[in-house]
Amino acid sequence: MKALLVSILLGLGAGCFAQQTEKYPLGNYQELTDTKPHDSKETWMKMNAPAALSWGTTDMRYTKLNIPDVKKSTRIQLKAWKGERVNAQAVLWTRNDLNHVSVAVSDLKNGKSAIPSSAISTHFVRYVMTDEFGQGCGHRPNKAEWDSLIVADALDINKTLDVKACSTQPVWIKIWVPSDAKAGKYKGTLTVSGENLSPMKLQMEVEVLNRTLPEPKDWAFYLDLWQNPYAVARYYQVPLWSQAHFDAMRPIMKMLADAGQRTITASIMHKPWNGQTEDHFDSMITRIRKIDGTWEYDYAVFDKWVSFMMDEIGIDDMICCYTMIPWALRFDYYDQATNRIQFVEAKPGDKAYTEYWGTFLKDFADHLRKKGWFEKTAISMDERPMEAMREAIKVIKQADPEFKITLAGNYHAEIQEDLHYLCIPFGQKFPDDVLAARKSKGQISTYYTCCVEPFPNLFTFSDPAEAAWTAIHAVADNYEGYLRWAVNSWTADPLRDSRFRTWPAGDTYSIYPGPRSSIRFERLVEGIQDCEKIRILRKELESEKAAGKLKRLNEEVGKFKFDNISGSKPSASTMVNRLEEILNSL
């Protein structure tokens, strides 16, 4: 019976999907029009040449219809550790239409050694509609009420692009230095050309330092970006949990693994967040109440999702199962007696709540142990009241006292000892002794940002360096890492419009369909790499008793503490650039 039910549910899901249309582009697409004031045609016609190319800075989102404010430069010099990813941004601007523009990069050579061009990727930076912070959290039913404009963010996967007259086209360059590269200076060339554009060249130099960054899977930083498989099925127009669905998710989730992602997001009930995203989360576990009143559970989808993330993607530190305390206290199950989906409406502490969850958790624990996943699995909640958490914790411990429990929400001294993993909002603090005790027990303590914080954040209108700042802050305030509630909960038209009906634009995702990375995502990875450098250098300097250098490093990192932020918004780019200079010079 349960196999038939799962088959029916999957079949219904498949019927909801159609062939891809222009509504869901994956390849070429047309950006939305920027209606903001911009440089006139007369201003553009004053250019000394039909087109210009220069190195820019990764700290800028260059506007599309204005001549970029750059000091023309044809050479860039970067520094990197072995195994590190470094970014650069070039800027092309033109007074004429340019057709089929493409970008090529040579090997970067150092004598007989080389960083191969295969370790370097180039991406046209595409423009997406954004809005403003406003009041932060809260419904935005009328987009016209918010100041909207297009901004540079998505890193395209298309290798050629037509560039319209009187416009600016940034190009993002990512270099992943091989871990076995020889220390030294590597030089090469970036070339931009087109059907009606003579090749234009920029010189690149990467100085590889004699230090090595570990592989992302070995980073100490605890990164927890929540995944939404349901958004992928909708956008790619494929049946849920089909092979086509997993094929579509594979490169997206691999990007997460390469960023050091540590957790798998699993939904164990219908609409754990009350459908707050464009694509709500369904339960990955089917609950069946049999005619005799006993319960049966089908873990087919859960097992398939977790196995995929662990075995194919390599993300296997923790399975975070959401949630026992949803926004709407309404819990689904399939009822054999009525042959339909029914709901239990109960709050933590109610007898019906205890029966529904207690029975399930006992069976779930047994299933997880058989799979060898119990030690990696946690029952997870987010932003729930302390009393509700206390009641849920009782049910969990009664079902199996060895279950791990996690919370992303306010700090509560009364329950923190019960939480293997506790993530608190930016600006809240763990008492120093509590943080030390949690570390000694192997408990995980991190922080998160969401729609509340104007700074730091990962909105599409946020300064690019804020993403790096966000990661560095975790180390500065002695946290293990950082959580953000959504990495791919895409809007209705994510490639063109990052605005959402509820929060500031970009709040729901930082990886685009394609998959396409973003300026925000790449700068976040940059900050995480900085955190790893800090960890490595602290250990090295302590062992060498290099007190002066260690003090200099710690003082610079300390500037990223919450208590050291002044009332005004700090300059993230200034702070990040200064710290990175030190990290690459010690």
pTM of the shown model: 0.95
Spell out the residues 6+ positions from residue 48 whose beta carbon is closer than 8 angstroms to its own. Answer: none
Separation of alpha carbons 277 and 231, rounded Å = 9
Task: Tell me which CATH code domain 41-211 carries.
Answer: 2.60.40.10
Model confidence pLDDT, tens digit, residues 219-270: 999 999 999 999 999 999 999 999 999 999 999 999 999 999 999 999 999 9
* Long-range contacts, stretch 331-335, CB < 8 angstroms, 24+ apart: 331/269, 331/270, 331/356, 331/357, 332/269, 332/270, 332/283, 332/287, 333/287, 333/288, 333/289, 333/295, 334/5, 334/286, 334/287, 334/288, 334/289, 335/289
Instruction: State the pLDDT at residue 43.
Output: 98
Are 475 and 438 a contacting pair, CB within 8 Å? no
Distance CA 469, CA 463 (A): 10
Q: What is the pLDDT of residues 123-140, one digit of tens each?
A: 999 999 999 999 999 998
Measured torsion, CA atoms of residues 209, 211, 212, 213, in degrees rounded to the nearest 10: -90
61-93 per-position pLDDT tens digit = 999 999 999 999 999 999 999 999 999 999 999
Residue 20 has pLDDT above 80, yes or no: no
SS3 call for 151:
strand
Q: What is the structure's pLDDT at 128?
A: 98
Q: State the average pLDDT over residues 422-432.
A: 97
pLDDT in the model for residue 412: 96
Cis check for the bond before 323: say yes or no (omega within 30 of 0). yes
Contact criterion met (CB below 8 Å) for 463 and 572: yes
Asked whether the CA dihedral 375, 397, 334, 345 is positive or negative, the reply is negative
Residue 8 has pLDDT above 70, yes or no: no
pLDDT for res 142: 78
Q: pLDDT averaged over the chain?
A: 95
Above 90 in pLDDT, residue 379? yes
Is the model's pLDDT at 532 over the cut of 70?
yes
Listed range (27-31, 255-259, 407-411, 567-571) with the worst mean pLDDT? 567-571
| CA atoms of 563 and 339, how far apart (whole Å) | 57
pLDDT at 377: 98
Q: Is the pLDDT higher at 157 or at 143?
A: 157
Q: Looking at residues 459-472, what average pLDDT do you find?
A: 98
What mean pLDDT do residues 190-212 have?
97
Report the percentage of the chain scoring pLDDT > 90: 93
Residue (of 462, 67, 17) closest to 244 by Cα position = 17
Cα distances from 415 to residues 224, 367, 560, in angstroms, run 21, 27, 28
Instruction: Using pLDDT thresholds of 50, 70 and 90, give the confidence band for residue 21.
Output: low
Looking at residue 143, what is its pLDDT?
A: 74
Picking from 445, 438, 447, the residue whose alpha carbon sits closest to that of residue 421 is: 445
Is 80 exceeded by the pLDDT of residue 433?
yes
Q: What is the DSSP letter of 509?
A: B
| Interatomic CA distance for residues 493 and 158, integer angstroms | 18
Of 507, 514, 519, 522, nearest to 226 by C-alpha is 507
